[in-house]
Amino acid sequence: MTDRRYAEAAFEDVMSTVEFRVAERPHITVDTDVCRSCTTKACVHACPADLFVPTSEGGILFNYEQCFECGTCYQVCDGEGAISWSYPDGGYGVVFKRG
Amino acid sequence: MTYAGPGSLSTVVDETTKTFDVIVVGAGPAGSAAALEVARAGHSVALVERGPFPGAKNVYGGVVYGRILDELVPRWWEHMPVQRWVTRRSTMVMTPTQALTVDFRTQDWGKPPYNGATAHRADLDSWLAEQAVEAGAVLVPSTVVTSLLRDRTGAVVGVRTDRPDGDLTAGVVIACDGVNSFLAKEAGMYKTGHEAEHLTLGVKQTLALPRQTIEDRFAISGRDGVDIEMLGCTGGIPGGGFLYTNLDSVSIGVVLALTGVSKAKTRPEDLIAELKRHPAIAPLIKGGEQIEYSAHLIPEGGYHAMPELIGDGMLVAGDAAAMCLAAGIWLEGVNFAIGAGMYAGRAAAAAVKSGDVSKTGLAGYRTMLERSFVLTDHRKLRDFPGLVLSDRMQQRYPGLVCDLVQGMFQVDNPLPKPGLRKLLRRATRDNGVRLRDLLRDGWTGMRGLR
Amino acid sequence: MLIVAALRWSDQRAAVDPLTGEVRTDARTSGASAADRAALEHALRIAEAFDGRCLAMTVGPVEAEEMLREALSVGAHEVVRVEGPAATVTEDGSETARLLLDGLPDRPDVIVCGDHSADRGTGATPAFLAQRLGACQALGLIELEAVDGGLRAVRRLDGGRRERLVFGAPAVCSVEPAGTTLRRAPLPATIAARTARIPVAHAGSLRYLRAGTAKAFRPRPRALPAPVGSEPHQRMLALTGALIERTPPALLRPATVEEAARELLDYLRRHGYTP
């Protein structure tokens, strides 16, 4: 039997099926100073696009380019003001062709 | 420059000339229905959309119930971009190795006036927006409404967009800006700060399969389709799963309570992968090629989580007003959005005509909602969302039901068949359910159905 | 002065069926490429500098009008859509150039295009435009600006080199999407453009280019003589060339350049390449 890990397509391949029109302005910014004192780091597991990665210094490394714009990250964030989130500029961001 | 986000702040402007009679923010089902009604009433209306085309940012979980369109588009079923008409509806209760399916099929739903349909939101929302544009609405795509404009009394008189020279003034602003509803929050229409408790995260994969394969595997033909709702497939996180058929693809996904997601150390795509491996699901989707992955928040709080719907110069409709109905076996949203948008459009048009766009002038909106299914259904089923997402329903009952049925149909000869009472006692004990709680939840469920 | 932005309407994210090779396009994701958007921005800037008119045009179907509406909203003075097919037409660019010029109301002074279109374009259309107009051409530019009544441009060459060009109208330029982003359209202009009338020119139809059928490449056969030798072992050795006498490679370290050149020439003479 094939190894279970290979039964699913790689996450990067799954993400590549979605169109993202990347804006110059990052619509997510993370204040990693706040993250350092965060014990849950809920964004790391909750973000469906896997945009948040914990760093060895206890901070958060984030991307904004492949964002579904769902809002999960700022809703689950415990740290006051750690994630500033807004809609990307008009016409940019995710484009679902099926939805 | 401010951006459209949780912290957006209104700008006070001195009353100037109105650019439009009504501004609708968001060209989803609610927004397009609102703009359509305003335009049909002969008023000028702008339909502002942040995506490059209507539907570009939108995701849904399976079925659009179109009957509300009877009031908007005559013979809508001949024009609406439908993938399949749902004639088979399954509810599946599962544990990792068991599944109990209640499967219903009726051919009545495969002919006019139809019942539910699967569709691609990019097609559906674009079509609905097209109806509004044909009626005279001005669609302004690729434009984000960043905040509200208010006069000195606090009444909403317009919106600010992210375009240069981007202020728009109007008599009424209808906020159909979706689940994050920054405009309703900015206007102070949401009371509590416990938003995350009322939100679920929907994550969905679309898998391409040949049309014939779908028809063979799901036992359907022509444009008939299947919608399967699942309970007990989310690894202990409160939520559920779904699988539905498009014309030449199937969509599978999970819906997860946001509070549960943030506690669990499981990623959403791993839960979908787990669901796709389930013995009851794997054969249905085998060989499907990934063609899209999507995620969206769903306002599942129901009636209790709804904001104020009317403000001075402002109405809220659709997901922005938490109008998704997620009451166990009923999962609806697009129809509520269309209905609410339609009534908001009518109320706004009436208010503009009468010249009174204050809260009292717009009060007709609430009356229309209460008389229709929009608020009636929500009020009737107001205790369901809590019940469905409760720990017992999520973690205990699927196992209980599956064990009970397995006990009934398992033949342990030479042992005689156990009695139902004994089975029930064993299943409740094994799954850690107290009979008292079972009865109480049953009562809540029954009361909701009255 | 008339400054024309000639834009190509194509799907920027076409899906290709991996099995059949069928290309599926979608009007919703179709529009101007990044290069074409840069071309429009350059055309607007040149028109501003020369105090001229900026006209945006395309050859395409009615769906392409969305792209022209955007051009109007960012400040193009006028737009023209030349009626054309929705699907990509196999041609070398000369046909598109012919239709573009036939669809223009006046003789243009400057035409700016994207370097090549996303749907497998060759980038030849601007060159055909220049040829038909008798204008000078500056293609594949990474910088373009109006200076002192003329145009100044920078073009990328091989090996990291740059070519600086100074030229005047009439000219045809094609630009790469480098360092230039299209300006954001103001809201009033966006709203006005939504309902603006898009003039349509019927300049004829695109003629398909008949291409020959593609054949697989077959190299000519090269005859190799069979090795001589009575024993199979010897023939095998002959094939490998193991025991054949040969000149071993020599490693030379000439001290000067002249010496190195002399060594090279000697080698060539020894082997009969030079007399």
* pLDDT over threshold 70, residue A51: yes
Please provide the size of chain A in residues: 99
Q: How far is B436 from chain A (nearest CA, A)?
A: 34
**A21-30, B10-19, B88-97, C157-166: lowest mean pLDDT where?**
B10-19
Q: Quick one: pLDDT at residue C167?
A: 93
Residues C22-50, mean pLDDT to the nearest whole number: 93
Q: Quick one: pLDDT at residue C239?
A: 83
Q: Quick one: pLDDT at residue A3?
A: 60
The predicted-structure confidence for B267-304, as pLDDT tens digits, reads as follows: 999 999 999 999 999 999 999 999 999 999 999 888 88
Across A35-60, b (16+ Cβ under 10 Å) vs e yields beebeebbbbbbbbbbbbeeeeeebb
Residues B45-60, mean pLDDT to the nearest whole number: 96
Instruction: For residue B143, give the nearest of C28, C190, C195 by CB distance.
Output: C190
Residues C25-44, mean pLDDT to the nearest whole number: 93
CA distance B164 to B150: 19
Q: Quick one: pLDDT at residue C9?
A: 93
Q: How far is B393 from chain A (nearest CA, A)?
A: 22
Interface check for A33 against chain C (CB to CB < 8 A): the answer is no
**A1-10, B3-12, B114-123, C200-209: lowest mean pLDDT where?**
A1-10
* pLDDT over threshold 50, residue B82: yes
Residues C161-184, mean pLDDT to the nearest whole number: 92
Window 40-79 of A: residues touching B by CB (8 A cutoff) are 40, 42, 45-46, 48-50, 68-72, 74-76
CA distance B51 to A89: 9
Instruction: For residue C184, give the nearest of B140, B163, B168 by CB distance.
Output: B163
DSSP letters along B285-319, please? Answer: HTTPEEEEEEEEEEE--GGGG----EETTEEE-GG
Residues A40-69, mean pLDDT to the nearest whole number: 92
- pTM for the predicted model, two decimal places: 0.88
Interface check for A31 against chain B (CB to CB < 8 A): the answer is no
Bridge partners, residue C96, by sequence: none
Beta carbons of B120 and A11 less than 8 Å apart:
no
Beta carbons of B164 and C190 less than 8 Å apart:
no
User: Radius of gyration (Cα) for chain C, nearest Å?
Assistant: 28
Sign (positive or negative) of CA dihedral B230, B231, B234, B237: positive
Residues of B in contact with C190 (CB under 8 A): 140, 143, 163
pLDDT tier, B450 (very low <50, low <70, confident <90, very high otherwise):
low
Vertex B89: Cα angle to B84 and B90 (nearest 5): 130
Which residue blocks in B312-434 are alpha helix, DSSP H? 334-354, 364-371, 373-380, 384-388, 391, 397-409, 420-430
Contact B103, B90 (CB under 8 A): yes
ipTM associated with this complex: 0.93
Q: How far is A81 from chain C (nearest CA, A)?
A: 30
Beta carbons of C195 and B138 less than 8 Å apart:
yes
Q: Quick one: pLDDT at residue B225?
A: 96
Q: How far is B147 from chain C (nearest CA, A)?
A: 15
* pLDDT over threshold 60, residue A2: no
Residues C62-87, mean pLDDT to the nearest whole number: 93
Q: How far is A43 from chain B (nearest CA, A)?
A: 7
pLDDT tier, A1 (very low <50, low <70, confident <90, very high otherwise):
very low
Pairing status of strand B156-161 against strand B167-175: antiparallel
Compute the mean pLDDT over every residue in chain B, rounded to the nearest whole number. 92
The dihedrals phi and psi of A84, each to the nearest 5 degrees, come to -100, 130
Interface check for A96 against chain B (CB to CB < 8 A): the answer is yes
**A14-23, B306-315, C241-250: lowest mean pLDDT where?**
C241-250
Residues A44-65, mean pLDDT to the nearest whole number: 92
Q: How far is B363 from chain A (nearest CA, A)?
A: 31
Interface check for C28 against chain B (CB to CB < 8 A): the answer is yes
Q: Quick one: pLDDT at residue B265?
A: 86
B interface residues, C as partner, C-beta within 8 Å: 46, 52-53, 56, 122, 126, 138-140, 143, 161, 163-168
The predicted-structure confidence for B154-195, as pLDDT tens digits, reads as follows: 999 999 999 999 999 999 999 999 999 999 999 999 886 667
Instruction: For residue B53, give the nearest of C28, C188, C195 by CB distance.
Output: C28
The predicted-structure confidence for B436-447, as pLDDT tens digits, reads as follows: 888 888 888 887
Residues of B in contact with C187 (CB under 8 A): 140, 143, 161, 163-168
Percent of chain C with pLDDT over 90: 58
Answer with the residue of higher pLDDT: C79 or C228: C79
Contact B257, B202 (CB under 8 A): no
Interface check for B405 against chain A (CB to CB < 8 A): the answer is no
Q: Which of B17, B50, B140, B247 to mutate to test the interface with C (most CBs of C within 10 A)?
A: B140
